[in-house]
Amino acid sequence: MKYYLLFGPPGAGKGTQAKLMVEKYNFHHVSTGDLLRKEIAAETELGKIAKQLIDNGNFVDDSIVVQMIKNEIADNPDVAGFIFDGFPRTLPQAEILDKMLAEKNQEVNKVLSIVIPDEMVFERILHRASIENRKDDTDRSIIQTRIDLYHNKTMPLIEYYSAQGKYQEICGIGTVEEIFQKISENL
Ligand code: ADP
């Protein structure tokens, strides 16, 4: 079983690229953001807790997302691999993931990070807000909170995975096809 992680700031195009990877390689795409939005839409207890946090651009608790990831792995034993998009987002999440996989004699194979400048993050997210109805996409200060969290909490993971020799950056500027080509070369 292969495990790939997609990194990148909000709006970098992780979801778009993950879909192409699913079509080409028969991987299972797990977006913790999408899973949380499903819980919110279904108005579950978890969804109620998550909504407040997500709408304000904050992270959901590590324990909640870790449990969602465990369920996804357990529920999909027959896939060729997993693409985690939006997970791990904090150092504790990364450490728990490593431990979880080590118990199955497995490991993260590669971390692909789609890199775009912060100015482009605003541009893309505000554009997405007019298409998808995400409250966390509509307000500049909420977007800034998400960018800051990405820098403060998620970027330390670059060090973590670089030290393991698994970290690879991909320039996220270009057409969807160009970026997918670069990702494919790195799988
Ligand atoms: P984006 O990458 O565009 O900001 P996502 O759809 O990946 O958006 O995530 C939306 C929101 O869901 C995040 O801002 C955060 O509140 C929550 N979330 C998603 N994944 C995690 C995670 N691994 N840990 C904590 N919170 C998460």
Confidence at 130, pLDDT banded by 50, 70, 90: confident
pLDDT digits (tens, 9 = 90+) for 87-108: 999 999 999 999 999 999 999 9
Q: Is the per-residue pLDDT at 172 higher than 90?
A: yes
Domain of residue 13: give its range: 2-180
Output the pLDDT for position 57: 95
Atom of ligand 1 nearest to the CA of 61: 25
Query: What residues line ligand 1, using a CB cutoff of 6 Å?
Result: 10-11, 31-33, 36, 53-54, 57-60, 65, 86-87, 89, 93, 136, 146
The radius of gyration of the chain's CA atoms, rounded to the nearest angstrom, is: 16
Distance CA 69, CA 86 (A): 11
Is residue 18 a part of any domain in this protein? Answer: yes
Task: Quote the ligand 1 centre to 159 CA distance (angstroms).
Answer: 20
118-129 and 140-149 are packed helices; what angle lies between their axes, rounded to 10 degrees? 130
Is residue 186 a part of any domain in this protein? Answer: no
Atom of ligand 1 nearest to the CA of 14: 2
Is residue 30 a part of any domain in this protein? Answer: yes
Is residue 110 a part of any domain in this protein? Answer: yes
- The residue whose CB lies within 8 Å of the most ligand 1 atoms, and thus the one to mutate among 60, 65, 96, is 60
Is residue 187 a part of any domain in this protein? Answer: no
Atom of ligand 1 nearest to the CA of 36: 12
Atom of ligand 1 nearest to the CA of 58: 16
Is residue 170 a part of any domain in this protein? Answer: yes
What average pLDDT does the segment 114-133 reach?
90
What average pLDDT does the segment 64-68 reach?
96
Distance CA 160, CA 155 (A): 9
Task: Quote the ligand 1 centre to 116 CA distance (angstroms).
Answer: 17
Distance CA 169, CA 167 (A): 7
Task: Quote the ligand 1 centre to 186 CA distance (angstroms).
Answer: 25
Is residue 91 a part of any domain in this protein? Answer: yes
What average pLDDT does the segment 29-37 reach?
96
Task: Quote the ligand 1 centre to 105 CA distance (angstroms).
Answer: 28
CATH number at residue 51: 3.40.50.300
Is residue 148 a part of any domain in this protein? Answer: yes
Confidence at 133, pLDDT banded by 50, 70, 90: confident
Task: Quote the ligand 1 centre to 34 CA distance (angstroms).
Answer: 8
User: How many structural domains compose the chain?
Assistant: 1
